[in-house]
A and B are shown apart, each in its own frame.
Chain A
């Protein structure tokens, strides 16, 4: 008989730029090593996962990261009193640091996590990517951090057009002239704050890799994917699992050199010469993780077992050529449900 485990998951915003929560939950519910009960943790009352009762047993609203870790911890303490949570899998970049900081306090409550260390989280930040590339001998596009548009004027001659204008957590735009840099700078900084990152535009084909590191330099899982269908904002709406050995070796190198702990997503660009450039490291499971589950590597299950201190054997096999194709689905929701989550913060 499989043990019953209660797992809290964030990122229930299965919207056009989806959070990973729903895909993570699907993996957890298909786990062979345990039987999962899912507690949703939501920021907004319209996150679709809240209403997916076949996937989520109960949802609680939690405070935004900007409210501070103390408030988050108080809320998690309350939720834990009701639910006795075994594991939390946070899925947003912006909330991760709070959960990393709370790791020991959560453990004292009996809640386990398997997250990158604060140092790992810090050094792979977009603002630190050039140093990261140098330290670990990984090719990255040239980039610089700016706090104002006048900062950009000082460095603009070092870059060819177009340049990529990136927010520190999310959002990016490709700017072909100064006016477009200005537009993206204002738009992204208003939403995500400063600094803004200016990155050299890397031409080529985009590839992503998801996986898990055990924290001791070992790769527990690696699944590379090529985006096949990309939305207006660059998100994969369809993708295919591939076996590029160079990509797998590069990912093993990343895990080994950084002793990466937890799930991750590498975003890479392959140029015409076949050379890979690392564009970003997301220190969490990506929204397309269900492809990894579908090809034989259940990353959410692995992370849960690692969080619980269990031995997890590395898996290297997966079925290349399997694809994911995303779709949107209109749910019909009773007003009472929306009312309940909006007023009580629970559903």
Chain B
């Protein structure tokens, strides 16, 4: 799964898509997930990474990450062929 290469993410959570000109704000966990996806990690690896660092169970993490990735897809922040 690849974050669209035209996406810039700042430390403060400001996400800018230079293809469409759209911008978004994400919270610190959102920034972390995007950064992990940028490192070409699979969803399972992202989940595992968050599980090791946060006090939450895998079911909750998996659901939240899936929801967040759906949002990224909806706003074309993930390349569709990669998301499929």
Chain A contact residues, CB within 8 Å of chain B: 205, 225-226, 228, 239-245, 320-321
Is B6 an interface residue, CB under 8 A from the partner?
Answer: yes
Number of A-B residue pairs with CB-CB distance less than 8 Å in the complex they form? 24
Does B58 count as interface, using CB distance less than 8 angstroms? Answer: no
- Residue on B nearest A323 in the bound complex, by CB: B21
Measured CB to CB, the closest approach of chain B to A121, in angstroms, equals: 30
Whole-angstrom distance between the alpha carbons of A242 and B76 in the complex?
Answer: 15
Bound together, the chains give a CA A228 to CA B18 distance in angstroms of 13
Q: Report the count of interface residues on B (CB-CB < 8 A).
A: 8
A180 CB to nearest chain B CB (Å): 31
Instruction: Report yes or no: A228 in contact with B21, Cβ–Cβ below 8 A.
Output: yes
Q: Which of B6-32 contact A (CB under 8 A)?
A: 6, 8, 16, 18-22
Query: Can you sample 16 A-B contacts with CB below 8 Å?
Result: A225-B21, A226-B20, A226-B22, A228-B21, A240-B21, A242-B18, A242-B19, A242-B20, A243-B6, A243-B18, A243-B19, A244-B20, A245-B19, A320-B6, A321-B8, A321-B18
Residue of B nearest to A239 (CB): B21
User: Of all chain B residues, which has the CB nearest A225?
Assistant: B21
On chain B, the residues within 8 Å of A321 by CB distance are 8, 16, 18
Report how far A243 CA is from B16 CA in the complex, Å.
Answer: 12
Complex alpha-carbon distance, A105 and B66, angstroms:
68
- Give the CA-CA distance A321 to B19 in the complex, in Å: 9
Does A320 contact B20, Cβ atoms closer than 8 Å? no
The dominant DSSP class at the B interface is loop
Chain A proximity of B46: nearest CB distance (Å): 26
In the docked arrangement, what's the CA distance between A239 and B8, Å?
18
B8: chain A residues within 8 A (beta carbon): 321
Question: How far apart are the CA atoms of A74 and B5 in the complex, in Å?
Answer: 56
Closest to A242 in B: B21
Question: What's the least CB distance linking B21 to chain A, in Å?
Answer: 3
CB closest residue in chain B, given A274: B76
Q: Which residues of B contact A242 (CB under 8 A)?
A: 18-21
CA distance A245 to B20 in the complex (A): 10
Q: Which residue of B lies closest to A228 (CB)?
A: B21
Known: A226-B22, A242-B20, A321-B16. 13 other contacts (CB 8 A): A205-B20, A225-B21, A226-B21, A240-B21, A241-B21, A242-B19, A242-B21, A243-B6, A243-B18, A244-B20, A320-B6, A321-B8, A321-B18
State the 10 A-B residue pairs at the shortest beta-carbon distance, nearest first: A226-B21, A320-B18, A242-B21, A240-B21, A243-B18, A244-B19, A321-B16, A321-B18, A242-B18, A243-B19
Give CA–CA (A225, B19) in the complex, Å.
Answer: 10
A193 to B7, CA, bound (A): 46
Nearest chain-B residue to A245 (Cβ)? B19
CA distance A271 to B19 in the complex (A): 15
* Smallest CB separation, B60 vs chain A (Å): 33
Residues of B within 8 A of A240 (CB): 21
Cβ–Cβ < 8 Å partners of A228 in chain B: 21
- A226 to B16, alpha carbons, bound, how many Å? 13
Q: How far is the CB of A85 from chain B (nearest CB, A)?
A: 38
Distance of A320 Cα from B17 Cα, bound (Å): 10
Closest chain A CB from B9 CB (angstroms): 12
CB neighbours of A205 from chain B (8 A): 20
Q: Which residues of B contact A320 (CB under 8 A)?
A: 6, 18
Give the CA-CA distance A244 to B18 in the complex, in Å: 7
Complex Cα gap A271–B66 (Å): 27
Complex interface: chain B residues within 8 A of A225 (CB)? 21
Contacting residues, chain B, for A243 (C-beta < 8 A): 6, 18-19
Bound-state CA distance A244–B22 (Å) is: 12
Q: Shortest distance in angstroms between A225's beta carbon and chain B's nearest beta carbon?
A: 8
Report A157 CB to chain B, min CB distance, Å.
36
Closest to B21 in A: A226
A205 to B17 CA separation, bound complex (whole angstroms): 15
Closest residue of chain A to B8 (Cβ to Cβ) is: A321
Shortest Cβ distance from A92 into chain B, in angstroms? 28
